[in-house]
A and B are shown apart, each in its own frame.
Chain A
Amino acid sequence: MNYKRLTILCGHYGSGKTNIAVNMALDLRSQRDNVAIADLDIVNPYFRSKDSEETFKEHGIRLICSDFASSNVDLPSMPADLYAITDDNSLSVIMDIGGDDRGAYALGRLRDAILNENDYEMLMVVNKFRPLTPDAPSTIEVMREIEAACGIPFTGIINNSNLAGETTAEDVLGSVRYAGEVARLSNLPLVLTTVEDRLFDELKEKISPLFCLKLQKRPV
């Protein structure tokens, strides 16, 4: 994938933003030297980018993250080095934003800098198998709420439709139409469909572009 300096991942909570962010950071690191992943989730204290801290260290990816993420402190807080994202133009960043409009408020703090620089993609991560976004209109409703909260317009859609371990190739194939409908109604490109590595070979000839996800280790 071709990356802008900032790749911002937003979506309904539980849509799969963090898994995509981790994989994109690794992909981006294979293309560029100065790469960071920014975990700006102020909503969810469980299942965070920080859980992959060791992987990032190993690959020389900077983690911009609140000291309290994945800790026992239920404190919605921003990283101390938040402004490195917008101040350091030599850095390429994958930004993992908290779920829904509530999570996107945190991103609003960086709005002016992001819009002035205008070297960003803001991607809406969608999963048709999530309860509150089963069709295009309900998904677009969430999109509009996120845009209103952060003040930044989306530039594309990522289709991450999945049923976790029970996902079949047919589920993913069937979801492309839904994602296409979201793209059509929002007048934005469908940038990627993502799929777990076990299904990648089966689907790589059938869906394009297709992005392979290696899932983060689950704590249990």
Chain B
Amino acid sequence: MADKILMKGNEAIAAAAIKAGCMHYFGYPITPQTEIAAYMAKVMPKIGGTFLQAESEIAAINMVYGVASAGKRVMTSSSSPGVSLKGEGLSYLAGSDLPALIVNVQRGGPGLGGIQPSQSDYFQATRGGGHGDYHMIVLAPASVQEMAELTVKGFELADTYRMTAMILADGTMGQMMEPVSIDDLKVNPAPEKPWATTGTQLSREHNIVNSLSLVPEELEQLNFKRYERYQVIEENETRYEEYKVDDADIVIAAFGIAARVSKNAVDEARKLGIKVGLIRPITLWPFPKAPFKKAAEHAKAFISVELNMGQMIEDVQLAIESKRPVTLCNRAGGMIPDPDQVLSAIKEVNGGIA
């Protein structure tokens, strides 16, 4: 096993992207994800890659569009307000079926909001982020090592399905330092991309990458085909972690930093004899409906722990077809629930079902 190094989550994303063969990064600084750009600025010139600080987030995402069209692994990163600026570009990438990795290290909103951690871009990320019918694959890491692993996975999924993947992290995940192993990351090489605009060499027809489609019948077919692909992804690429769910009366749903906090609360509640478990979605889209549906067969109630005003809770309700009550346990605006708050929510829900 290779030596571990001590990294911030943001650095782990950058290092893993390079390990995954991403040689092109375009971005614009914003707290709390600036270390990604800082790392790229230091390392890319030394390995013959491209680091470019664009004049805006909008410019950066369109540079991503350019490199993705040429078939190369490419990434941009930002935090919440900056990702909103990229919204148009995300839609164009989807409309052109281009693979790319987008990183959102979320901060409190709406508006310019604050700089402390948040998960309040869940709706934006899982519902596409821009206009039109489309999805992104949304990955939610809960450790610095997972920041690295899901970055690699994000590139691979993006290439496999010709679509954008997003790492949806938060300020804490970006800033916290943990030991990681980058050398040990397994990377599948990028697949052939016969659609890429790399020059015809006078030996093939022109490849055209475009999201404009003025014939409604054709545009409808494009949408149908895209959604057939999304169905394959929902069937094959759903990821989640279960913790003590098998006998649970109460099941917590939480991702990212909220899942780490919730895990502590689960252990504390178990000491008090309350049967609690945790389902941690790792893919937020596709949402892991199956484990929730299964848990609803024995669990009497669910709690959604989030750093927002209640967004994932809707997907939990949909997944269990509203068969059980789902309670929200949350903080917002850059605040993080502590294990005691989650434990109190567990006790309260337990009182209601006992």
- Is B179 a contact partner of A166 (Cβ separation < 8 A)? yes
Option from B5, B172, B178 in Cβ contact (under 8 Å) with A131 = B5
In the complex, what distance in Å separates the CA atom of A104 from the CA atom of B334?
29
Q: Mark B165-185, 1 if CB is under 8 A from A, else 0.
A: 000000110011111001000
Total count of chain A residues near the partner, CB < 8 A: 22
Instruction: Report the minimum CB–CB distance from A20 to chain B (whole Å).
Output: 15
Find out whether the CB atom of A220 lies under 8 angstroms from the CB atom of B257: yes
**Does the CB pair A72–B116 fall under 8 Å?**
yes
- The residue that A220 contacts in the complex, of B35, B42, B43, B176, with Cβ under 8 A, is B176
Could you say which of A46, A47, A73, A130 contacts B6, with CB atoms under 8 Å apart? Answer: A130
Whether B6 contacts A162 by the Cβ 8 Å rule is yes
The answer to whether B261 touches A220 (Cβ under 8 A) is yes
Given contacts A72-B334, A220-B257, contact A163 B175 (CB under 8 A): no
Q: How far is the CA of A219 from the CA of B115 in the complex (A)?
A: 15
Q: Is the CB of A164 within 8 A of B178?
A: yes
Residue of A nearest to B113 (CB): A72
A220 touching B179, Cβ below 8 Å: no
B63 proximal to A (CB < 8 A): no
Contacts known (A164-B177, A220-B261); A14 close to B8, Cβ less than 8 A = yes
B21 proximal to A (CB < 8 A): no
| CB within 8 Å of B: which A54-92 residues | 72-74
Chain B residues in contact with chain A, CB under 8 A? 3-8, 11, 15, 31-32, 35, 39, 42-43, 108, 114-116, 171-172, 175-179, 182, 257, 260-261, 334, 336
- Which B residues are in CB contact (< 8 Å) with A130? 5-7
Chain A 110-128 residues near chain B, CB threshold 8 A: 127
* CB-CB nearest in chain A for B7: A131
- Establish whether residues B179 and A47, one from each chain, have CB atoms under 8 Å apart when the complex forms: no
Closest to B42 in A: A132
| Residues on A with beta carbons closer than 8 Å to the beta carbon of B43 | 132
Contacts of A162 in B (CB 8 A): 6
**A200 at interface, CB cutoff 8 A:** no
B175 touches A47 (CB 8 A): yes
State A130–B334 Cα separation when bound (angstroms). Answer: 28
Do A163 and B115 form a contact, CB below 8 Å, given A46-B175, A72-B334, A220-B336? no
Among A47, A74, A132, A220, the residue within 8 A (CB) of B260 is: A220
Chain A residues within an 8 Å CB radius of B260:
220
- The answer, among B6, B42, B172, for a CB contact under 8 Å with A163, is B6
A46–B175 CA distance with the chains assembled, in angstroms: 7
User: Secondary structure at chain B's binding surface: helix, strand, loop or mixed?
Assistant: mixed
- Complex A-B, nearest 10 residue pairs according to Cβ-Cβ distance, in ascending order: A72-B114, A163-B179, A129-B6, A74-B115, A46-B175, A166-B179, A74-B31, A129-B5, A163-B6, A131-B5
Contacts of B5 in A (CB 8 A): 129-131, 134, 163
Q: A108: CB under 8 A from chain B?
A: no
Q: Interface SS of chain A: helix, strand, loop or mixed?
A: loop
Q: Is the CB of B257 within 8 A of A163?
A: no
Interface flag for A45 (CB, 8 Å): yes
- In the bound assembly, the distance between CA atoms of A219 and B337 in angstroms comes to 11
Q: For B257, list chain A residues within 8 Å (CB).
A: 220
Query: In chain A, what residue has the closest Cβ to B260?
Result: A220
A-B contact pairs, 28 of them (CB 8 A): A14-B6, A14-B7, A14-B11, A14-B177, A44-B175, A47-B175, A72-B114, A72-B334, A73-B115, A127-B6, A129-B4, A129-B5, A129-B6, A129-B179, A130-B5, A130-B7, A131-B15, A131-B182, A132-B39, A132-B42, A163-B5, A164-B177, A166-B4, A219-B336, A220-B172, A220-B257, A220-B261, A220-B336
Which of chain B's residues has its CB closest to A161's CB? B6
Residue of chain B at shortest CB distance from A100: B38
B-chain residues with CB within 8 Å of residue A163 when the two chains form the complex:
4-6, 179
> Once the chains bind, are A164 and B179 in contact (CB under 8 Å)?
yes
Q: Are B11 and A131 interface neighbours, CB within 8 A?
A: yes
Q: Give the residues in chain A near B178, CB-CB below 8 Å.
A: 164
**Other CB < 8 Å A-B pairs besides A129-B6, A131-B15, A162-B6, 12 of them?**
A13-B35, A14-B8, A45-B32, A46-B175, A72-B334, A127-B6, A131-B11, A132-B39, A134-B5, A164-B177, A219-B172, A219-B336
Please give, as numbers and ranges, the residues of chain A lying within 8 Å of B114 by CB-CB distance. Answer: 72
Report the bound CA distance from A47 to B7 in whole Å: 15
| Complex alpha-carbon distance, A159 and B35, angstroms | 23
Q: Are B115 and A45 in contact (CB under 8 A)?
A: yes
Closest chain-A Cβ to B336's Cβ sits at a distance in Å of 6
- Chain B residue contacts of A132, Cβ below 8 A: 39, 42-43
- Indicate the member of B5, B32, B261, B334 with the most A CB atoms within 10 Å: B5
Contact call B171/A46, Cβ cutoff below 8 A: yes
Separation of A129 and B8 alpha carbons in the complex (Å): 12
